Structure 1
């Protein structure tokens, strides 16, 4: 969507960044920082993390060629630690600081640049001018050496830009500047209006087959439903919104911002135009496209739940270190509850599909031994050292604050509805009003639940959020009209393993606590090469088989109660005797009573 140039000069900004393509082949962005009135010993710092992704990522590792000048003369820059510098400059005289950023991380968290596209977050690109964070900040996006035909998309307010979007943008402060990522390239672009607000959607990495109109319409329905959820017919707390989606060969993820989001999906997940003559039935959403819509719904819901309603500890971000909170079960977990639920309420999936998605989340938690060791509150606090550092022992020692948090939300919602006193929808809106769309504490959640539910929920929150026992989700779902059954668990789960399968065979990724694999002595990293089976009859020889897929173990075993796994570990061949365990079970949900389900799934009382 083209933007017309503005005839007037933008408001004066105390701090100005100019970012341009320096060398796409070398993946280098050029950055110039202009400080109108620096201090005598002006300090600069690059954030070590990006809000929404709770891991210290050391963005300064990609900064290079840092130098400073005043009136064209060099100024000494002294590095203080891994991410801070001090300029020994003359106070009050404009200071310019230049550097390059190596941009070759295709995730939504940092910066990327090649000949096909560019993307950057301010946290990995723009040095913070310490002491001037609350003053206006300007971003000038230059073409530099950008290829012909590139455009720009960002949530920042344009003040003087050309038709492609290159030019000047203004932020009220540093927080706003770094909360508005920038997409550059030859991307598909479309727009729609939701509750009077213009939403722009750009997609990079897709082909001409992209059904952009369907993507826009489905996203519009999600946005309309969520704005109405929070505000009824009232105004949303933002004036514009930008979706930035990059389609890749193999990727998935998203990161929320105050009036935009950066997303990644697989190209195969995108909607495709129907060939001429195809029937409308072919429009049924693929599993991949449903997953993408769920991601869009998740990140958009964050516009309220974590970008505005947010932990008290995030009232002012500290970009220099970890910002701890025990509330990610609420901000990520409750958002994970509502993301798929809004697909149902927007009419993009049916009841059966929603329950299939919910089944997946339930089984994911039930099949994680760490749920009995770590509470949802502990998982939230430990996100900085555990959630983003997945290892072979992760499922045994941790629980996801996303999935368990979503089930806590489910249980609270169904409890409120079952007792006839409102719903979690009412609690979320009460929190918005109570905290005025700003910082909040767990005590606010408890008060909002008490107000809506007409009793305190301390017992439930103490057990479900701060305890490690299983949640009563299945019982509450049955009372709501959901039919639950138990079926055979997948073979890997049955054996207490998580594996990967490829051309080279079966590799064990994790051994779950208390499972048959652990009892057999299997270990993460083992290559499972084959099995030995006892002779079916005394007169016959024992059997040994090479395997390439885990399923082969089950049918080769037949009814024999034990076998020996042949594995390679550190190039040594080992024999691990394995007792076949009793059949494991997995939960399955289906529609039981559609009339009882309707108020919940469609958003009624």
Structure 2
């Protein structure tokens, strides 16, 4: 039976599958949900045609699109193994993420229970209503069999359907992957899915949705998604050649869902508990725009240091400022070009955050985008219980990369008669378009990106300076100058208002004061006064700090430069310290009412839709 399945499988597969290794028996999975109400799945894996010796079965420790360790084996239990005749096999545990199975007869049937109750793009979320499965969190694999094809069958509760980028066989209900890398990059959404499908440039795009809204809300949301798809394709000049001709949005907007977005080669997981109407629809659509842009940038235009992805360690890359950061710039820009946002909304939601993050973050003055990218294993949903000082040492590669993308786009437009769109198209054509065995033929290095920038700008010296100063270095862009040609002004959002800085305060439930929950920011009034994490501000200018409105009212009576006594409870007791107030540092970008015709034309060329 296994050999017949393999033969049928090989006949249907593209020629790229037909390497000698594909002639071996596929790894066969069955996933069932007999106890979904308690967030459990039961998984059976059949490993056949095995060489002699123990079989090393493992759960992944990391997941494509994530860069920290997640130790997925922690949610696996009730493990057992038998040979082809059903005889029990001896299992040993060599490490926390693996099981060694000895004494088999050339086949191992490996069974386990999986617990999963987080619905997002990283983990597994299972309940009586649906299942959202990220494969590294769900499926065990065997060392040495990574190049074998895989087949997955789902034993579904009544009324459930399956959506995945895996290749389906409707006749057998089986989903296929050419090898482990592809399998682990192919999440599945299961449940009573609502489907909307359309054609774009000869490709099938589908939205597979779980939500509680109306059909009209879903149709309106899909109509906006279509516009985003067109604008993203216009940046690169074409859609990718999606495997099996299909791209799938796996959208889960149920109340139990955690907010997330996770890109994959021919699909994306977009999850949120926000509805498909009003502000919820707009926020959800922002995630759609970001993740869809990834089907070029990071899925096919891929950094060399992430190829191939290693499921057994934290994968560090020096290029996340480009892979994630440039994508973060394009997400809101696509919404503006698609008509979802106005110019002012784009400034408020796409520009202000990037500019404030880069110019006001102490970390951005300390580390470069490359160094921020390298810290991803510590911050990308990584779990730790000890306090850190990242408020002063770190700025997300999303923000630092996005802000530099904004600066580069404006610079190219103003000074080099080209655009960031042209740069992205050139990178796509040289390092993303050509694919082999479901991976890029030429994953890029940072010098590759610098060279392409020199070609597009026709100025290799400029490209060298940009990378030296802003990518390998941490020189801050001159945003006021860069925004001016678009008729946009960078200014203080609260000019003349007194402030304690950007430190976040947590007002205590008993109204006894305001806790500083994280490190005070370098250079802020609290930092300068020697007030730090877990200190409690009791009084400001002699007045008890019972709630946030009290502090706001007291600050309004002062001006920047005033020295105010603050009573604080610190680890060494209660004391009163002088605090010198600063001007509120928050910045904003606004459109000049007196913008010239030339400035308006610059802005239109930048922000207007590009689709044909």
TM-score range, shorter chain: 0.7 to 0.9
Distance (whole Å) between structure 1 residues aligned to residue 556 and residue 231 of structure 2 = 52
Note the C-alpha offset of 1:227: 2.2
Please identify runs of 4+ aligned residues in structure 1 that moved more than 6 A.
489-493
Moved more, 388-397 or 63-72: 388-397
- Cα contact 2:199–2:205 (8 A) shared by 1: yes
**Which one of the candidate residues 39, 63, 68 is aligned to 2:76?**
63
Note the C-alpha offset of 1:376: 0.6
**Which one of the candidate residues 131, 136, 158 is aligned to 2:168?**
158
- Cα contact 1:50–1:109 (8 A) shared by 2: yes
Moved more, 519-528 or 333-342: 519-528
CA 1:493–1:366 in structure 2 vs 1: closer, same or farther (change >3 Å)?
Answer: farther
CA 1:586–1:225 in structure 2 vs 1: closer, same or farther (change >3 Å)?
Answer: closer
Moved more, 30-39 or 495-504: 495-504
Give aligned pairs, total. 566
Distance (whole Å) between structure 2 residues aligned to residue 103 and residue 407 of structure 1 = 36
Q: Which residue pairs with 2:180 in the alignment?
A: 174
Q: Which residue pairs with 2:344 in the alignment?
A: 352
Q: Which residue pairs with 1:531 in the alignment?
A: 540
- Cα contact 1:195–1:235 (8 A) shared by 2: no
| Deviation per residue, 1:279-315 (Å, 9 max, x gap) | xxxxxx53x4333222111000111111111111122
**Which one of the candidate residues 141, 148, 151 is aligned to 1:128?**
141
Q: Which residue pairs with 1:519 in the alignment?
A: 528
The TM-score normalised by the length of structure 1 is: 0.86
Q: Counterparts in 2 of 1:409-488, with a 5 A limit? A: 409-437=405-433, 438=440, 439-456=443-460, 457-488=463-494
Note the C-alpha offset of 1:19: 0.7
Q: Which residue pairs with 2:548 in the alignment?
A: 549
- Cα contact 2:356–2:586 (8 A) shared by 1: no
RMSD: 2.9
Q: Counterparts in 2 of 1:396-411, with a 5 A limit? A: 396-411=392-407
Moved more, 498-507 or 411-420: 498-507
| Deviation per residue, 1:180-223 (Å, 9 max, x gap) | 11112234433333223222223334244870111100001111
Q: Which residue pairs with 1:11 in the alignment?
A: 9
The TM-score normalised by the length of structure 2 is: 0.85
Structure 1 residues without counterparts, runs of 5 or longer: 1-7, 272-284, 534-543
Note the C-alpha offset of 1:138: 0.2
Q: Which residue pairs with 1:28 in the alignment?
A: 40
Note the C-alpha offset of 1:348: 2.0
- Cα contact 1:80–1:86 (8 A) shared by 2: yes
Note the C-alpha offset of 1:58: 0.6
Q: Which structure has greater helix proportion? A: 2
Note the C-alpha offset of 1:454: 0.9
Q: Which residue pairs with 2:100 in the alignment?
A: 86
CA 1:76–1:235 in structure 2 vs 1: closer, same or farther (change >3 Å)?
Answer: closer
- Cα contact 1:10–1:159 (8 A) shared by 2: no
Note the C-alpha offset of 1:234: 8.3
Moved more, 13-22 or 560-569: 560-569
Moved more, 190-199 or 576-585: 576-585
| Deviation per residue, 1:361-412 (Å, 9 max, x gap) | 2112222111111111001111112454595621201121111101211222
Q: Which residue pairs with 1:590 in the alignment?
A: 591
- Cα contact 2:231–2:609 (8 A) shared by 1: no
Distance (whole Å) between structure 1 residues aligned to residue 479 and residue 296 of structure 2 = 26
Distance (whole Å) between structure 2 residues aligned to residue 223 and residue 240 of structure 1 = 13
CA 1:89–1:576 in structure 2 vs 1: closer, same or farther (change >3 Å)?
Answer: farther
User: Is 2:223 the partner of 1:217?
Assistant: yes
- Cα contact 2:302–2:432 (8 A) shared by 1: no
Q: Which residue pairs with 1:324 in the alignment?
A: 316
